[in-house]
Copies of this chain bind each other. A is one copy, B any other.
Amino acid sequence: MFARRMYGVQSSAVRDLLKHAQRPGIVSLAGGIPAPDLFDIEGLHAALEASVREGGTAVFQYGQTEGEPALREAIAELMRGRGVRCSAEEILVTAGSQQGLDLAARVLLDPGSTVVVERPSYLAALQTFALAEARVLSVPSDDEGMNVDALAERLRPGDARAIYVVPDFGNPTGRTLSLARRRQLVDLALRTGTMILEDDPYGALRFDGQRLPSLHALALEAGAPGRVLHLSSFSKILSPGLRLGWMVAPPEVLRQAALAKQAVDLHSCSLSQRLVMTYLASGRLQARMPLLAEAYRERRDALSAALRRHLGDHLQTNRPDGGMFLWGSVARGLDTARLLEIALEEGVIFVPGAAFHADEPETHTLRLSYSTVRPDTAETAAERLARAWRRFEAERPH
């Protein structure tokens, strides 16, 4: 009775887990959500009040599919501040970068088309590609991000329609694609005529090291601006509940994506758009970014240290330069899904790594989010996880 595509889509393990996160007393390292205590509530309220006061009926009326012109302008300026040269005409306002991903999939992928992803990769991107009935080609990654050499060996011109990559502090691994590999990836995309889907929700949350040039910027430098479709979002830097993100796309792609959006939801929320327009005009975002980065750095450090203290070498984690996630692993052969069952009983949750693999799941991996975990809670989380670990070890046959 259902369309074929629905048999390939699985419910998000993360969203399913979030139901547990609501239970009183549970410490969640599972969410990929920004810290609510870091929301600029005062600034959001002020912007909301001003936009409603000055917006008249337009705040509640239908708007343009591409987005409010002034917001597209402000986003283009924001992008230029990130080193991405673009104009307002290249911006499509979307319902979070998730919708950008879905629109890109609908515009670029036919059933059976191949899309390249990193292994592990963003879970909801895998869902979107499953919904598009795409064939997913997983490429291994390491601390420098996607292994572009491994991809280059397998990718011939015309093989794939798109390469999906989160270059900065990716979900779930927190890894950053190195500069050398960025250049290599853009070069490969040019040689093979493949579009790059650059998904960058986290790049602005860098707290260590220097920002690397985006794939969009590198493609422009290489004289091929049409090769990269760049996605980003206000979800991680301002508010996810407003459901606003954007796509930076070459004109002919943007036209198609806007056409798809007409049929998908007509346009994004007018109220949210005006709120964000007003907020951006206030200049508060630029002022807040260092505070946000500093707070997340502190949380990364606190959770890393607590895990080290309580779990020692049993749990290995990396040390990302930004974003919200630690990527961890226990000894090969162990299954973090079982560890989670025990951890839930102990009052702490995380996401087992298997969910982020389109194939060849590495069941001994896990994602630990520090974004909503204050330093004292990090200690509690690590203690509980250590208790769970001891029970987990005790039930293994010797």
Contact = CB atoms under 8 A, between A and B. Distances in A.
A271 interface: yes
Given A39-B57, A241-B59, A264-B98, A6 B259 contact: yes
Contact of A61 (B52, B110, B195, B241): B241
A102 interface: yes
A275 B59 CA distance: 13
Contact of A266 (B41, B60, B98): B98
A61 to B, nearest CB: 5
A102 B12 contact: no
B270 A241 contact: yes
Given A63-B241, A239-B60, A107 B265 contact: no
Interface residues of A, number: 69
A264 B102 contact: yes
B110 A5 contact: yes
Contact of A110 (B3, B45, B124, B270): B3
B259 A110 contact: no
Interface in A257-296: 259-260, 262-272, 275
Interface of A: 1-6, 9-12, 15, 33-34, 36-37, 39, 41, 44-45, 48, 52, 57-63, 65, 95-96, 98-99, 102, 106-111, 113, 124, 127-128, 130-131, 161, 195, 235, 239-243, 256, 259-260, 262-272, 275
